[in-house]
Amino acid sequence: MRVNDRHYRTIWVDAATPQVINVIDQRHLPHEFVIEALTTVDEVAVAIRDMHIRGAGLIGATAGYGMYLAALHADSGQFIESLRAAGKKLKATRPTAVNLAWAVERQLQAIAVAEGNIPAKIKVARETAEAIANEDADFCQRIGEHGVGLIEKISKDISQDTGQGAARDTVNILTHCNAGWLAFVDYGSATAPIYAAHDRGVKVHVWVDETRPRNQGARLTAWELGQHGVPHTVIADNIGGHLMQHGLVDLVIVGSDRTTYTGDVANKVGTYLKALAAHDNGVPFYVALPSSTFDWTMRDGLKEIPIEQRDGGEVRYIQGLHEGDLKKVLLTPEKSPAVNYGFDVTPARLVTGLITERGICDASEAGVLGLYPEKS
């Protein structure tokens, strides 16, 4: 995507120093645009755990590049063992995000079967990391191509006065958290159809949930939509249901951090409540995700998907810009404890459909395996 009229991906190999991986440090957005240089697997682990970078696809891509850095610094006498230890360290950072473990395992397998000496295996590690990143961007672009038709159809429908209300020319879409370009390598998942529609001249407006406690919607989704020129409005997390009750939401599109092959969706905490409100008000609720986000081993998302618990301090404190500086302030009584579940699970019965790089399917075992028959 473009930032101040220059194209960026969220992660890339430094052109002058290929032993350095550059990422956009999202802790500073929207007030500062900061590029962070990562040089070791330990730095990558911190960047993932402390959310310098975040989002399912980008976590996977960053893990892939982290394994490349691990290969660069691995003990030559225990090369594979060193990489396995690095992979274990990366996997422990964000347990709900299945893309992370998928990328680590893909790297370990590619390096293990690579022929030649250690430099040859390092070369394979870099090539695999770049393949993971390129696939992520490509898959997200395809998600946009498949999902844009949903928005175009709604635009056509609402432009005609059905007798139930005045015709409108703008499609109102609600999204939760940030499943945009910043959550992937490029394009995003939930935002890809929105960007595609906007670029085709379809009038869209996005309701952006603030997404407490880290405010990824208010900080990140609003920022990137603004960079792309997409009309949007930031709302408090609990407003979505009210908007749906009054016909002000035509479509909900969210992302996913892990989706079972039966269609249960783990996404940022609060997603389940949006799905309930959408279901109660007859609003289509779609989940956009690349195939790397499917967990092909899990059937029951509510029982099986691990839900990350983060530091309660993220709930008790909030960060913002004050007199030119980023400040963190205490919201709660000083001694009040807080609990901080990072994700919740939306059961498949509440999901209208899944938008993937292969097309749109029902949120069901039959629907998913219909698109991915090789997983049967």
Residues 266-324: tens digit of each pLDDT: 999 999 999 999 999 999 999 999 999 999 999 999 999 999 999 999 999 999 999 98
Query: How is residue 309 annotated by DSSP?
Result: B
Q: Which CATH number fits domain 2-134: 3.40.50.800, 3.40.50.300, 1.20.120.420, 1.10.10.60?
A: 1.20.120.420
Q: Are 157 and 99 in contact (CB under 8 A)?
A: no
- The reply to whether 237 belongs to the active site is no
How far is 179 from 146, CA to CA, in rounded Å? 16
Q: Are 342 and 258 in contact (CB under 8 A)?
A: no
Q: Which residue has the tokens 């409108």?
A: 168
pLDDT at 183: 97
**Structure-derived torsion over alpha carbons of residues 270, 286, 255, 110, reported in degrees to the nearest 10:** 140
* Phi, psi dihedrals of residue 63, rounded to the nearest 5°: -65, -40
Count, residues in the chain: 376
pLDDT at 165: 58
**CA proximity to 66, closest of 52, 76, 294, 78:** 52
Q: Are 262 and 300 in contact (CB under 8 A)?
A: yes
How far is 218 from 207, CA to CA, in rounded Å? 10
Residue type, 360: I
pLDDT at 2: 83
Q: Which CATH number fits domain 146-375: 3.40.50.300, 2.120.10.70, 3.40.50.10470, 3.40.250.10?
A: 3.40.50.10470
Q: Which segments of the chain have a pLDDT < 70? A: 161-166
How far is 361 from 172, CA to CA, in rounded Å? 22
Active-site position among 257, 264, 295, 344: 257
Q: Which residues pair with 344 in a beta bridge?
A: 267
pLDDT at 160: 83
| Residue 25: how many other CB atoms lie within 10 Å | 17
Order of strands across the sheet with 204-209? 232-235, 204-209, 171-175, 251-254, 285-288, 353-356, 359-361
Domain boundaries, the chain: 2-134, 146-375
* Phi, psi dihedrals of residue 364, rounded to the nearest 5°: -155, 165
How far is 341 from 173, CA to CA, in rounded Å? 26
* Phi, psi dihedrals of residue 173, rounded to the nearest 5°: -120, 135
